[in-house]
Amino acid sequence: MKKMFVYAAILALLTSGCSSWFSERVATLADLPVAEHEPPITPEPLPSVGWEEVAKSYERLRAETTNPQLHAKALKRLADLTVEGYGKDETAPVSDEEFQRAVKQYDALLADADAELERDFILYQKARAYDQMARPELALKPLTELVTQYPNSPLYGEAQYRRGEILFSLQNYREAQNAYRAAAGLWSDSPYYRRALYKYGWSMFKQGNYQDALLPFFALFDWYQVLPPEKLDPADLALIEDSHRVVSLSFSSMNGVASVKEFLSRRAQPPYTAKIYENLAEFYVKQELHEEATKTLKAFVAQYPQAPESAGFMLRVVDIYQNRGFATQALQAKVDFATQFGARQPYWKTEAARNWESIKPRLQITVTDLASFYHAKAQRSGARGDYDQAVRWYDEYIQSFPQDAQTPGLHFLMAEALAESGQMAESIVAYETTSYGYPAHEKSAEAGYAAFLNYQQLLAQTTDEAQDEYKRGSILSGRRFVGYYPQDPRVVTVQARVADLLFELREDAEAVATARELLEGGYQLTPEMQRSAWTIIAHGEFALAEYPSSEHACQQALRFWPAESEEFAALIERQAAAIYRQGEIARDAGEFAAAADHFLRVGKQTPQANIRVTADYDAAMALVSATQWERAIAALNDFLTRYPQHELYASAEEQLAQAYASSEQWSKVAQVYERMQARETDPERRSQLQWNAADLYLKGGEAGMAIAAYSRYVEQFPEPLEQAIEARQKLADLYAQQGKPGARREWLRSLIDAHHAGAGTDRTTYLAAKAELELAQADEAEFRAVKLAQPLKENLAKKKDLMQKTVAAYGRAVEYKVGEVTSASVYRLAEVYRHFAAELLGSERPAEIDAEEAEMYNVMLEEQAFPFEEKALSIHESNMRLIPQGVYDQWVKASMRALAELNPGRYAKQELIEYYVNTLF
C-alpha cells in the first residue's frame, strides 16, 4: 500500500513539474479525452506529501532502479524540483548550492547519450537554474544551444525571447535584435509574441536604427487593434503605452513630425494615427520642446482636419501655449481652433460629433475668451479692426449657442462693442435683439434703453435724408422699450424723447397724444420734461389747427422757458399765431367783429410777437369790413403810429382814408392824403393825392386848409401845367369867396404867368384869358373910379394913365383869341373909350370962366370927346366881326345895343341889325 502511494505521488509530480517561466503549459490528465458512457468517479483527496519526502522518493528511485530511462527521469525530476522550488517557501528558499546541484544534474542528463529525454527541455531548465541564480550570462549558453540544436522545439520561441532579454541586458543589441525577431516571427498567438515585438523594436532603437525600429512597434499596434478593449489587461496597456513612448522617441530622434508624415505616407492610415501624433507631442512637452509639440499637433490637424481628434489636438495646442505663457501664440491657436472647429462648422457633422459634448465647454470658453480679449484690446487701442474681431467672436458664440444661459449677456457685450466702434446702426440691432429676443435676463431693460440711446447718437451723427429714417426707428425703439418695461424709471425719459421725435417728424397727432400721455400719466416729470411736453402740444396742436388748445399749451410752456431763450421767443410767436388763426377763421366765416377781437388779442397777449403787426393790420381791416368806423379808425391810427416803417403802412393809410371817407370826415381824409403824398415816390400819384387832399379840404368846408393844400400843390407840382393852372384858379376862387380880391388877383396873375411860361393848352389858354379879362376889369374899375373933377388936369392925367393901362389889359385878353373873352374884352374896351368920352363931356367946368368961355370950353370938350366916341363905335363894330367866327354871345349882343345907342341912325333899326347879322353869317 505504501508503494502504491509513492508511485501515485511520483506520477502527480511528473505531470505537474514541467511548467515554463511564464505561461508555458504542458498537457495533463485533464486534457485527455473522456470516453463515452464512462462511469462516474467520485474524487477523493490525496494525502499531502512533503517536499523532502518527494525528493527522497526520487532519490530512492534513482538509486534502486536498474532502468536507465527511469533513472534519467528521476534525476531530471530531482533537478526540476530544485529549479522550481517545489515545496519551498520564502522562509527557506532554494540556495545557490542547490541550483548548482540541479545544473550538474542537468549536465549529467545531457551527457548521457542514452537517456531518452527531451534535451531541449533540459537545456531550458538548465537556463532557468542559472537565471534563478541571477547568472543570465550563464543561462545564455544553454538557451543558445537549444535554439541552435532544436529549432523546431516548442520552447524555441521562448528560448529566443529569453536569449533576447539576456543579450539586451548585456547591451548586445544586435544579437538581441536577432533573438527577438526570431521569437516574434514564429506565431502571433504566442504569449511572447507581443513582448518579443516590443523588445525587437527596442533593440533596433538602442542601435540608433530608428526608422526600422518603428516597424515592430507598428506591427504590435496593429496586433492589438484586433483585440477588443475589454481583452486588454493592465500589462497590455502598459506595453502599448511604452511602445508609443519608444515610437515617439524614434520620431523625435529622426525629423520629428515630418518623419511621422513621411512614415505614415507609405502605409494605409492606421486607426491609431492620432495616438502617434499625440504621443509625440506629449513627448515634446515633457522635453519642454513646446514649439515642436504644437507643430506636431498642428500637423495632424492640417493632415486630418476631419479627424475626431483634431479639435482636441487644437485645444492641446492652446493649453501648451498658455501653460508656457506664450500669449500671442495661444491667442492665434484659440482663433484657429474656434475658426476650424466652431459649432457651426461641417466638422461636427462627421464622426467627430461623438466628441461634441466634451469639446463644447472648451469651445465656449475659447470663443468667450477671444471676444473678451479683443474687446478689451479695442477699448485700449480704439482700433476698428480690434472691435471687428470682438464682434466676430461675440457673434460666433451667439450663433453657435443661442439657447445658452450666457448668450444674452454676450449679445449685450457685442452691442457694446459695435457702439464703441461707431457702428451705431448695427449696435441698435444687437441691443434690441438682446432686449427683446431672449427670455427676461439681467440686461434686458438696459439693452432696450441702450438701443434707444444709440438711435439718438445716430441722429446726432447724421445730417442727410437718413435722419427721418433714424427718427422713425428711434420712435419704434422707444415705444418698444416702454411697452416691455413700463415700470422702468427710464420710461419717462424715453416717452419724452419719443414725443420730441414725433414732433420733429411732423407726426403731430401722435406727438401731441404722447406728450399728453406724459403729462397725464402720473409720472414724476422734471420741469424740463413738462416744458418739452407743453411745447410739443403747443406746436403740434397748432399744426392740427387746434388753435385754442395750442394757445393754452403755449401759455403753459412759457412758464418753463427763460424769457431770454430762443424757444421762449418761438412760443410767443406760436401763441400769437394761434390767436391770429382764430381771427382768420372768424374772418373767413364773415364774423368780422369777432375776428377783430382775436387779432387785437395778439397785441394784448403777445405784444412782442412778429405777427402782431399783421394782426393789428388785419384787426383794422376786419373792423373796416364790419363797418365799425370808429373802432376801425382807432385801430388804423394805432397801426400807423406803431409801425411807421412797415410795408403795410401805405395800405393802412389808404384804409384809414376810406374809413374817414365812409364816416364823411373829409378833412381827415385830406390830411391822410397829404401824409400819403409826402411819402409817395411816384410823381403822378403824389400830384393826385395832393390835389385830392385839397379838394377834400374844400369838401369838408375847410377853406383855409384847402387854400394851403392848393398852394402846396402849385409849389410842388408845376407839372402838369393844366392841373397847376387849375389849382391857381381854385386859389383865386377861394380868395374871392373869402373877400380877398387882392389875393385873388395875385393868383390870377400867377395863373397867367404860368400859362405863358409853359406849353399852354386850350384849357390853360381859356383860364388865362379869363384871368386877363378879370384883371382888365379890375383895372377898368379903377379907371372908372377916377372922376374928372378939379384939379382937372391931375385927374385927367391920372385917368388917362389908367385908361391906357386898362386898354392894354383888354388888349392882352383879346390876344388869347378865346371867343367869349375876346367879345367881352372888345365890348369892355369899347365901353372904356365910350366912358372916357362921356367923362370928358361931363367933366367939372372951371369955376372962373364966363358963359362965352364956357361955350367955347364945351366945344373944345366935344372935339376932344368925339374921337373917343368914334373909337368906341369902331371897337363895338369889331365885335360884330366875331359873329362869322361863331361868337354870338352876350357881349356881341351888348356891342350891338351900344352901336344902336352910339349911331341910332345907322344901327337903331332892328331889321338893319338883323340884316347885318345875317350878312355877316
Q: What does the DSSP assignment read for 14-51?
A: HHHS---SSS-----GGGSPPPTTPPP----PPPP--H
Whether omega for the bond prior to residue 270 falls within 30 degrees of 0, making it cis, is no
pTM of the model: 0.61
Cα 237 to Cα 333: distance, rounded to the nearest angstrom:
32
C-beta neighbour count of 501 within 10 angstroms: 24
Contact 512, 544 (CB under 8 A): yes
Which whole-number Å values give the CA distances from 350 to 191, 346, 354, in the listed order?
39, 7, 9
Residue owning grid cell 373910379: 785
| 464: Cβ contacts below 8 Å, ≥ 6 apart | none
Among residues 892, 911, 715, 761, which one has the least CA distance to residue 821?
Answer: 892
If you ran DSSP here, which 8-state letter would residue 89 be given?
-
The reported pLDDT for the residue numbered 512 is 94
Cα 267 to Cα 265: distance, rounded to the nearest angstrom:
6
Instruction: Characterize 541-552 residue by residue with b for buried, 16 or more Cβ atoms within 10 angstroms of its Cβ, and e for exposed.
Output: bbeeebbebbbb
The reported pLDDT for the residue numbered 96 is 83
| 891: Cβ contacts below 8 Å, ≥ 6 apart | 820, 823, 824, 826, 827, 879
Instruction: Characterize 247-274 residue by residue with b for buried, 16 or more Cβ atoms within 10 angstroms of its Cβ, and e for exposed.
Output: bbbbbbebebbebbbebbeeeeeeebbb
The reported pLDDT for the residue numbered 310 is 94
Cα 599 to Cα 576: distance, rounded to the nearest angstrom:
9
Residue type, 410: L
Contact 138, 91 (CB under 8 A): no
The reported pLDDT for the residue numbered 544 is 93
Cell numbers that stand for 627 in this block: 363797418
Q: Tell me the residue length of the chain.
A: 921
Q: What is the largest CA-CA distance in the chain?
A: 256
C-beta neighbour count of 510 within 10 angstroms: 17
Cα 872 to Cα 209: distance, rounded to the nearest angstrom:
178
Cα 190 to Cα 519: distance, rounded to the nearest angstrom:
97
The reported pLDDT for the residue numbered 282 is 94
Mean pLDDT, each 10-residue run in order, the chain (921 residues): 38 36 34 37 50 69 68 76 65 79 86 77 91 90 94 90 93 94 74 86 92 89 81 86 91 92 89 92 93 95 94 95 93 95 94 93 95 96 95 95 95 96 93 95 95 92 85 93 92 91 91 92 88 92 94 93 92 94 95 94 93 93 94 93 89 91 92 89 90 92 93 92 92 94 94 90 92 92 90 89 93 90 91 90 81 83 86 88 85 89 76 48 40
Cell numbers that stand for 661 in this block: 371817407
| 401: Cβ contacts below 8 Å, ≥ 6 apart | 343, 364, 407
The reported pLDDT for the residue numbered 90 is 59
**What secondary structure does DSSP assign to 770-839, as a single string?**
HHHHHHHHHHHHHHHH----SSHHHHHHHHHHHHHHHHHHHHHHHTT--HHHHHHHHHHHHHHHHHHHHH
Cα 752 to Cα 732: distance, rounded to the nearest angstrom:
12
Cell numbers that stand for 218 in this block: 507598428
The reported pLDDT for the residue numbered 25 is 34
Alpha helices in 401-526 (DSSP H): 407-420, 424-436, 444-461, 466-484, 491-504, 508-520
